Amino acid sequence: MVQYNFKKITVVPNGKDIVDIILSRTQRQTPTVVHKGYSITRLRRFYTRKVKYTQQNFFEKLSTIIDEFPRLDDIHPFYGDLLHVLYNKDHYKLALGQINTARNLISKIAKDYVKLLKYGDSLYCCKSLEVAALGRMCTVVKRIGPSLAYLEQIRQHMARLPSIDPNTRTILICWYPNVGKSSFMNKITRADVDVQPYAFTTKSLFVGHTDYKYLRYQVIDTPGILDRPFEDHNIIEMCSITALAHLRSAVLFFLDISGSEIVTSFKFVWFDILDENGLPFIEKTANRLSPESMFYPLIIVCNKTDLQPLDGISEEDKKLVMEMKAEAMKTVMGQGGEVGDDEGVLLTMSTLNEEGVAAVKNAACDRLLNQRVELKMKTKKINDCLNRFHVAIPKPRDQKERPPCIPQAVLEAKAKQAAEKERRKTEKDLEDENGGAGVYSASLKKNYILANEEWKDDVMPEILDGHNVYDFVDPDILLRLEELEREEGLREEEEEDDDFEMDGKELTPEEKEALAEIRKKKSLLIQQHRIKKRTAESRPSVSRKFDKDKKFTTKRMGRQLSSLGLDPSMAIDRARSKSRVAKGEVC
C-alpha cells in the first residue's frame, strides 16, 4: 500500500543560500594552498578538482529537490488532481523543469571549463578559468531563485495537507455548506473540526478515524459545494469534488431539513467520472443523481431533526426527498442489490442530541464493507484464497444448552466504569449546558493552583514572591517614558550645537598660522608614533624619508653630545658607515 507523506520533503533554500553552502563546502573540502613553483600539471589538477567538486555539490543539491517533490503523473490520481487544484500543475512542473535545466547547465559548464583547464599554461590562466566556472554556476543558480521560492511555499503548504490513504475503507461526508457535516465528524471520530453557525467554516479536507467491527475506517470531512456551474467552483469546492471523483468510499449526502434552505439544498449537480476519456470531472444534468456513475454506496442523511422532523416538512419538500431516495435506490440496484434493499438509503439524525448518529455510521460502514467484499469476490485471487480457508463447525456432545456466560466480576467492573463516566462532567458537557459552540468559552485558568482563587481572573496573573506583579506597575509609565525620550532629545540637540569643526574661515591671520603649526605638529607626532610601532633595533629611530627638513643630521648629534661633555667623533663615524647602504635598501 502506497503511503504519501509530504512532511518528509526537505526545506528548499533560496538561490543565495545554495551558493553560500556550496562555495563554503568547496573551500572546506578541497585543498586551498597552491604555489607558483608547482608544475603546470599539478596546477591543472588543483583547479580541475575544485570545478568538479563544486559541480557535483550543485548537482546533488538540485537533484534532491527534484526527486523529493512528487511527480503528478506517478502518484495516485486523487493526490495528482488535488495538487493541480491547489497549486496549478503547469506552474508546478515549470518550476521543477527550470531546476532540472539549471542542473544540466551546471554540468555542461563544468565539462567545458575542465576541457579548457587541460590547456592552461600558467597559474594565472588556471585561476581565471576556475573563477569563471564557479561564477557562471552561481549565476545559473541565482536565476532560478523565484522557482526555488515557489517550491518552498508549496512544500510548506503540502506539509499541512492531511494524510489520506486513497485505498483504505473511507467514509466521505459531503454536500451543501452549513448542514452539520463537521458536527457529525466530531461525533464519530476524535477529530476536532471547527464548527460555527455560518457557511464555509470548513475550507479544506479534514481526516478522522473510527472503528467498527474491529476494523479502522477513514472519515473525511469535505467543504461545502454550492449549486452552480462547474467552471464557477472555487478552490475550496474543487477539493470536495476531487475527493468525490477519486476516492472509492461510502458517500453521505447531508441535507438540512430544519428551515427554508431545504428546497435549494435539494437542487444539486452530480459529477460524472470518465477515466477512459482522460477527463477528471464532467458536469452532468442538474437535479438528479447518475446511477451509472455511482460505483460506491450512497446514503442520504436528513440532519437537524431536533428542529424539524422529516414527517413535519411540506408535501413539496417530502416529494423531493422521495425522488432523491428513488434515484439513490437505482445505485443500489446497479451494485447488485435487490428491490427490497431500501434500508439504509435514507436516514435521519440530529447531531445536537446524537439521535441517529450511530445508526448512520453503522449503515455507512456496513454498506461499504459489503461492497468491498463483493468486489474482492469477483477478482481472480479469490480461488487461491478459498483453498486456504477451513470453517470448523463443532458437533454437539449432548442435548444440554450452554449459553455464553460473563463472569460477575466483569459485569461489576463495567457497571462501575459506567457510573464513573456518568458522574464525571467533561468540558463538552459544560459546553452543551452553557449554550453550545460559539457561546460557551472554556476557561483555561480554572485549574491554576494559586494561593488565592481570586487571582485566576486577574488580567496579568504573573505571581512573584506571593505578590501580583500587576499591582506594582505604575499606571503613568507611558507618560513618564515620553518625558524621558523628550529630555533625551533635548540633550542630543545641545550636544550637536556644542560640537563644531574649525574650518579657518572666521580666523585672523595670526590664528591661522597657529592652527597650521598645531596641525603640522600633530601630523609629525603621528608619523613618529607609526615609526616607533614598526621599527626594530637595527633601524634608525627616524627614517630618511621623513627627515625632509634635514633636522636629524650628524652635526646636530655632535652638538648635542658635546653639550653633554662627550666625544662625538666615534658616534659620527659609526653613523656615516651605517648610512652607506646599497641603493634601494630601506634603512
Neighbour count for residue 177 (Cβ, 10 Å): 20
Shared domain for 187 and 144, answered yes or no, is no
Phi, psi of 292, rounded to the nearest 5 degrees: -70, -30
| pLDDT of 26 | 92
- Look at residue 269 in the predicted model and tell me its pLDDT: 37
Domain check: are 196 and 140 in the same one? no
Q: Name residues whose C-beta falls within 8 Å of residue 111's C-beta, 6 or more positions apart in sequence.
A: none
Distances (CA, A) of 527 to 532, 543, 544, 547: 9, 10, 12, 11
pLDDT of residue 486: 86
pLDDT of residue 52: 95
Residue 225 near residue 237, CB atoms below 8 Å: yes
| Alpha carbon distance 58, 22 (integer Å) | 7
Residue 192 sits in the same domain as residue 139: no
Closest listed residue to residue 161, CA positions, set 8, 353, 19, 40:
8
How far is 440 from 435, CA to CA, in rounded Å? 6
Q: Is residue 419 part of a domain?
A: no
The residue from 159, 182, 203 where one domain ends is 159
Residues 180 and 310 both lie in one domain: yes
| Shared-domain flag, residues 270 and 184 | yes
By CB atoms closer than 10 A (0-12, 13-18, 19+), residue 46 is buried
Per-residue CA distances from 396 to 391, 400, 402, 406, 474 (Å): 16, 9, 10, 21, 89
Q: Which long-range contacts (CB under 8 A, 24 or more apart) does 230-238 make?
A: 230/269, 230/271, 230/281, 230/282, 230/283, 235/85, 235/86, 236/200, 236/203, 236/204, 238/85
246 and 275 both lie in a single domain: yes
Asked whether the beta carbons of 325 and 300 are under 8 A apart, the reply is: yes
Q: Indicate if 243 and 146 belong to the same structural domain.
A: no
Distance of CA 134 to the CA centre of its chain: 32
pLDDT of residue 544: 57
Q: Looking at residue 40, which CATH number applies to its domain? A: 1.20.120.1190
Grid coordinates in use for 239? 477539493
pLDDT, block means (10 residues), the chain with 587 residues: 73 93 92 87 93 95 93 87 89 94 95 93 92 95 94 91 88 87 90 85 89 91 83 85 86 79 41 34 32 63 85 79 76 52 76 89 90 81 77 83 86 85 76 83 83 76 72 78 86 67 70 87 86 60 59 78 83 72 45
pLDDT of residue 551: 66
- The Cα–Cα gap between 509 and 183 comes to 95
End-of-domain residue from the set 465, 480, 495: 480
Residues 6+ apart with CB under 8 A from 92: 72, 83, 84, 154
The CATH number of the domain holding residue 189 is: 3.40.50.300
Same domain for 195 and 65: no
Distance CA 503, CA 402 (A): 118
- 128 with 179, same domain: the answer is no
What range does the domain containing 454 cover? 449-480
Q: Which three cell numbers stand for residue 221?
A: 470531512
Same domain, 150 and 247: no
Residue of 275, 274, 282, 255 whose CA lies nearest to 266: 255
CA-closest candidate to residue 367, choices 399, 345, 334, 351: 345
Tell whether 146 is covered by a domain.
Answer: yes
pTM of the prediction?
A: 0.57
Nearest partner of 64 among 10, 142, 23, judged by Cα: 10
∠ CA(236), CA(241), CA(246), 5° rounding? 130
Does 105 share its domain with 184? no
Task: Tally Cβ neighbours within 10 Å of residue 110.
Answer: 23
Tell me how far apart the alpha carbons of residues 296 and 248 are, in angstroms, rounded to a whole number. 6
Q: Report d(CA 428, CA 450) in Å as an integer.
A: 25
> Are 245 and 271 a contacting pair, CB within 8 Å?
yes
Q: Are strands 215-221 and 467-468 parallel, antiparallel or unpaired?
A: unpaired
Determine the residue type at 177. P
**Considering the domain boundaries, does residue 398 fall inside one?**
no
Is 395 within a domain? no
**pLDDT at residue 151, as a whole number:** 94
Cell numbers standing for residue 12: 528548499
pLDDT the model gives residue 542: 55
Distance of CA 540 to the CA centre of its chain: 69
Domain boundary among 127, 159, 191: 159
Whether 27 maps to a domain, the answer reads yes
Residues 429, 424: Cα–Cα separation, whole Å: 9
Do 125 and 213 lie in one domain? The reply is no
Examine residue 584 and state whether it is found in any structural domain, yes or no: no
**Domain for residue 491, yes or no?**
no
Number of domains in the chain: 4
8 Å CB contact between 29 and 52? no
Asked if residue 493 is part of any domain, the answer here is: no
